[in-house]
Amino acid sequence: MRVLKYLLQKEFLQIFRNKSMLPIIFVMPILQLCVLSFAATYDMKNTNLYIVDKDLSSHSRELISKFNGSPFFTVKEIGFSVEEAEKEIYKDKIDAILVFNDDFGKSVDLKKGASVQVLINAINASSAGLYNAYISSVIQDYNRKVSASIREVGTGVPVHFVQSSYLHQFNPEMKYIPYMLPGLLVLLVTVIGLFLSAMNVVREKEIGTIEQINVTPIRKSQFLLAKLIPFLIIGFFELGIGLSIAAFLFKIPFLGSVWLVYLVAFVYLIAILGFGLLISTQTNTQQQAMFIAWFFMVIFLLMSGLFTPVESMPEWGQTLNILNPIAYFIKVIRMILLKGSGFFDIVDEIAILTLFAVSVVSIAVNRYRKVA
Amino acid sequence: MNKDVKVIKVKNLCKKFGDFTANNNLSFEVSKGEIFGFLGANGAGKTTAIKILCGLSYPTSGEISVAGFDVYKQREQLKRNIGYMSQKFSLYEDLTVFENIRFYGGIYGLSKEVIHRKADDLLKKLDLQHARNKRISSLPLGWKQKLAFSVAIFHNPEIVFLDEPTGGVDPVTRRQFWDLIYEAARGGITIFVTTHYMDEAEYCDRVSIMVDGKIEALDTPAKLKEDFNAGDMDQVFLALARTATNVE
C-alpha cells in the first residue's frame, strides 16, 4: 500500500504539471459539452420551402399562409415553375418544394379531393423523414379544417375522422438536448479516459523511465493501478462538471439517482481505462497508441446509439454491440436520468460492465511485461 | 573488495534474437565491492547482458545468479537488491530533485523519515541543496547523471549496474562521477559498469572486453596491458575490437 501511495503521488504531480494536458482535461470537456449540445441538434427549426403556386386561389394561399405561420418553415420563394424550384434544391438553398397545380382551388371547391405535390431533398434520409412528417402534419391540419367546414355547410353526410393524440413519455416535448446530453457526457469521459490512459504507459516507454520502473520490485498490478486511479478520479470530476452543466445550464430533469450514475461510471471507467492501459502496454510509441485508441473509439462510438438508434442497426451490428461498453453506458445513463430507472432496472448492464472491467484490467496486468 | 564473496555468478550465458546471437556463452564472476568494467564496441552485446543481469530480459540459456538470487525464479528479490542506471535518462524530468528521490526511495519501501534524512545527506554531499526543488529538466547533464547514480544506490543495493553512465559529459564531471563510484564501492556496493571511455576502464578493478557477443579478455587493466603489450587500455581495446564483425 505504501508503494502505491508513492506511485500515486508521482502520477498526480506529473498530471498537474503537464501544461498541455490540463486544458485538455478541464477546459475541453466543458466547451465540447456546451457546443455539441447546442449545435448537434436533430430538432427541426428551420426548413426552407420553395412553393410553386400555379393555382393562385384563396385555398392555395390559405395553405401557404399556414406554412408561413409555422416556426418550423421559412417560405423562401413562391414561384410558378418546378424547374426553377429544382435548381434551388441543387444549390442546397431549399429543403423541400410544394407544388400546387392550377386545379387545386377548384378541386377543393368541388370537394373532389385536391392534391399537393411535395418534393424533398433527401440526401440526409433522417431529416427528409422529419420534413415529410412536419409538412404532412401541416397539410393534415388544413385538411381537417376543410372537412369541418364541409360538415358545417351540411351535406347531410357527417364527415368522420379519427383524431389520434400522442403523448411522448419521458421527453414530452421531444426535445433533443435532454436526449443527447447524457450521451455526450459519456462520449466526453470516454475520450478523456481512453486517450489519457492509452498515452500514459507508452510515454514512459518513450522517455525511458519504464526501464527504471521495471528494475524495481514494484508489482505490475501496483504500477497499473497507480496509472488507473488518477484517471478514474479525473473521469469522476468531469462527469460531475458535465452533470452540473446538464442540470443547471440545460435544466435537464434528473429523474433518477446521480449516485447510481456514478456507480455505473465507476465500473465503466475502469473498463475504459483498463482498455487504454492495455493499448499502452502493447504499443511502443504514443503515435501507435493514439491510432489504435482512435480506431476503437470511432467504432464504439458510431455503434453506441449516441447518434443513431441501436434498434435500427442490422442484426449483426446489434450483436457486435454486446462487446461495446459505450453502448451500455449511454443506454443506462439515459434510462437513469430521463426515465428514473433504478438499480434493478439496469442490473444486467452493470453486471456486464463489471465483467468487462475485471477482464480487461486482468488482461492489461497480464500483458504488461516487466521482462522482455 | 571481498574476493571470497561472489555477488554475480554467470555461467554459459547465451541470448539469441532469432538467428542473431547477442551473448555467446558468457561466463564470469564478480566479487563483492568490486568495480567491474564491462567493455565492448557498440553492438557487442553489453546492454543485452546487463539487462539479463537486472532481470529486464530473459536469457536463452545459462546459469545466472545476482546478489544470490536466480534470474529465472527469484526476479523480485533480485530487483530489491540491485540498482540500475540506464543509458536512457532515468529520472522524471517533470519532477523536482527531491520528488525523484522521494519517489524512488518510496517504491523501495524506505520510510518517510529515512527518505528525508538520506535525501538531505545526499544533496549536501552532491552540493545540490539549492537545487532541491528544481525540476530535473532544468539541471545540466552532469548534475543529472550524478543524481541518477545516487538515486540508483539510494536504497543501498548490493550491486549497481551502470549502462554507459557518463555519456556526453565533460572530463571534470566524469572524474567527479567516478569519485562517487569509488565511494560507493568502498561502502561495499559492487559496481558493474559499461563504458566507451578507455580512461575509465583504467579506474576499474577488473575489465572484460566483449567482441561479437563473446568475452575475449577479462583481467585487471594492468595485466591486460601487459598481455597485449600495450601502453594503455585504448590499445588493448583496439587490438581486440578490430576483429569484430558485428560493429554497427
pLDDT digits (tens, 9 = 90+) for A278-330: 999 999 999 999 999 999 999 999 888 887 788 888 888 888 888 999 999 99
C-alpha to C-alpha distance for A271 and A278, rounded to whole angstroms? 10
What cell numbers appear for A240 in the block? 460531475
Tell me, yes or no, whether B120 lies in a domain.
no
Query: pLDDT for A69-112, tens place per residue?
Result: 888 888 888 888 888 888 888 888 888 888 888 888 888 787 77
Chain B residues with beta carbon closer than 8 angstroms to that of A16: none
C-alpha to C-alpha distance for B242 and B247, rounded to whole angstroms? 9
Percent of all residues in chain A with a pLDDT value above 90, rounded to a whole number? 39
Largest Cα–Cα separation, chain B? 54
Tell me the mean pLDDT in the region B171-180. 91
Tell me the mean pLDDT in the region B65-90. 89
C-alpha to C-alpha distance for B90 and B149, rounded to whole angstroms? 10
Tell me, yes or no, whether B34 lies in a domain.
yes
**How many domains does the structure of chain B reveal?**
1
Specify the pTM.
0.81
Nearest CA in chain A to B50: A215
Average per-residue pLDDT in chain B? Answer: 90
Helical segments of B56-140, H only = 75-80, 97-107, 112-125
- State which residues form the domain around B209: 2-81+157-241
Average per-residue pLDDT in chain A? Answer: 85
C-alpha to C-alpha distance for A288 and B197, rounded to whole angstroms? 37
pLDDT value, residue B168: 81
Cβ contact (<8 Å) for A212 and B84? yes
- Estimate the share of chain B in helix, then strand, then coil, as percent rounded to the nearest 5: 40, 30, 35
Tell me, yes or no, whether B248 lies in a domain.
no
With 90 as the cut, is the pLDDT of residue A154 above it? no
Collapse the DSSP code of A314 into the 3-class scheme (helix H, G, I; strand E, B; otherwise coil) and give the result: coil
Tell me the mean pLDDT in the region B133-143. 92
With 60 as the cut, is the pLDDT of residue B246 above it? no
Nearest CA in chain B to A220: B76
Tell me, yes or no, whether B121 lies in a domain.
no
Domains, chain A, ordered by start = 2-40+176-367 (no CATH), 47-153 (3.40.1710.10)
Tell me the mean pLDDT in the region B126-148. 92
Name which of B77, B80, B103 is nearest A10 (Cβ-Cβ).
Answer: B103
Nearest CA in chain B to A222: B107
Residue A3, chain B, CB below 8 Å: the answer is yes
Chain B residues within 8 Å of chain A (Cβ atoms): 51, 54-58, 75-77, 79-80, 82-84, 86, 88-95, 99, 102-104, 106-109
Nearest CA in chain B to A212: B90
Interface with B, mutate which of A16, A19, A206, A216 (most B CBs under 10 A): A216
Interface with B, mutate which of A4, A5, A10 (most B CBs under 10 A): A10
C-alpha to C-alpha distance for B4 and A38, rounded to whole angstroms? 78
Cβ contact (<8 Å) for B82 and A2? no
B55 CA: distance to closest CA in chain A (Å): 7
Strand pairing partners for A96? A49, A120
C-alpha B42, offset from chain centre: 16
Cα first-last separation, chain A: 26
Among all chains, which residue has been given the C-alpha cell 435544466?
A: A251
Cβ contact (<8 Å) for A208 and B86? yes
pLDDT value, residue B248: 46
Higher pLDDT, A109 or B210: B210
Chain A residues with beta carbon closer than 8 angstroms to that of B77: 217
Tell me, yes or no, whether B175 lies in a domain.
yes
Tell me, yes or no, whether B114 lies in a domain.
no
Q: Determine whether A363 is exposed, middle or buried from the number of CB atoms within 10 Å of its CB (0-12, 13-18, 19+).
A: middle
What count of Cα atoms within 13 Å lies in the side-chain half-sphere of residue A225? 13
What cell numbers appear for A281 in the block? 502496454
With 70 as the cut, is the pLDDT of residue B202 above it? yes
Residue A219 sits at the vertex; the CA angle it makes with A214 and A224, to the nearest 5 degrees, is 90
Residue among B35, B86, B32 nearest B57 (CA): B86
Confidence of residue A227 (pLDDT cuts 50, 70, 90): very high
A267 CA: distance to closest CA in chain B (Å): 28
Tell me, yes or no, whether B147 lies in a domain.
no
Tell me the mean pLDDT in the region B199-207. 91
Strand order across the A116-120 sheet = A73-79, A47-53, A96-100, A116-120
The residues in A 16-75 lying below 8 A from B, measured between CB atoms, are 17-18
Tell me the mean pLDDT in the region A185-200. 92
Amino acid B9 reads K
- Is this complex scored with an ipTM above 0.95? no
Confidence of residue B61 (pLDDT cuts 50, 70, 90): very high
Tell me, yes or no, whether B58 lies in a domain.
yes
A91 CA: distance to closest CA in chain B (Å): 55
C-alpha to C-alpha distance for B225 and A360, rounded to whole angstroms? 58
Residue A234 sits at the vertex; the CA angle it makes with B101 and A14, to the nearest 5 degrees, is 25
Nearest CA in chain A to B90: A209
With 60 as the cut, is the pLDDT of residue A156 above it? no
The neighbour count for residue B170, using CB atoms within 10 Å, is 12
Query: pLDDT for B12-46, tens place per residue?
Result: 999 999 889 899 999 999 999 999 999 988 888 88
Weakest-pLDDT range from A25-29, A37-41, B131-135, B196-200: A37-41
Confidence of residue A42 (pLDDT cuts 50, 70, 90): low
C-alpha to C-alpha distance for A112 and A99, rounded to whole angstroms? 18
With 90 as the cut, is the pLDDT of residue A8 above it? yes
The Cα-based distances of B239 to A57, A249, B224, B234, B243 in angstroms read 109, 78, 11, 9, 8
Overall residue count recorded for chain B in this entry: 248
What cell numbers appear for B97 in the block? 530533485
Which domain CATH number covers B163? 3.40.50.300
pLDDT value, residue A160: 46
The Cα-based distances of A339 to A184, A331, A335 in angstroms read 17, 11, 5
Taking only Cα atoms into account, the Rg of chain B, rounded to an integer number of angstroms, comes to: 18
Higher pLDDT, B52 or A172: B52
Name which of A3, A17, A208 is nearest B106 (Cβ-Cβ).
Answer: A3
Residue among A91, A94, A138 nearest A116 (CA): A138
pLDDT value, residue A173: 61
Percent of all residues in chain A with a pLDDT value above 70, rounded to a whole number? 91
Query: pLDDT for A273-284, tens place per residue?
Result: 999 999 999 999
Strand pairing partners for A268? none
Cβ contact (<8 Å) for A6 and B107? yes
**Strand bridging mode B190-195 / B35-40:** parallel
Name which of A3, A209, A371 is nearest B109 (Cβ-Cβ).
Answer: A3
Q: Determine whether B113 is exposed, middle or buried from the number of CB atoms within 10 Å of its CB (0-12, 13-18, 19+).
A: exposed
Chain B residues with beta carbon closer than 8 angstroms to that of A211: 56, 84, 86, 88, 90
Cβ contact (<8 Å) for A18 and B94? yes
pLDDT value, residue A88: 86
Percent of all residues in chain B with a pLDDT value above 90, rounded to a whole number? 63
Residue among A129, A48, A133, A127 nearest A91 (CA): A48
Amino acid A175 reads K
With 90 as the cut, is the pLDDT of residue B247 above it? no
C-alpha to C-alpha distance for A60 and A193, rounded to whole angstroms? 57
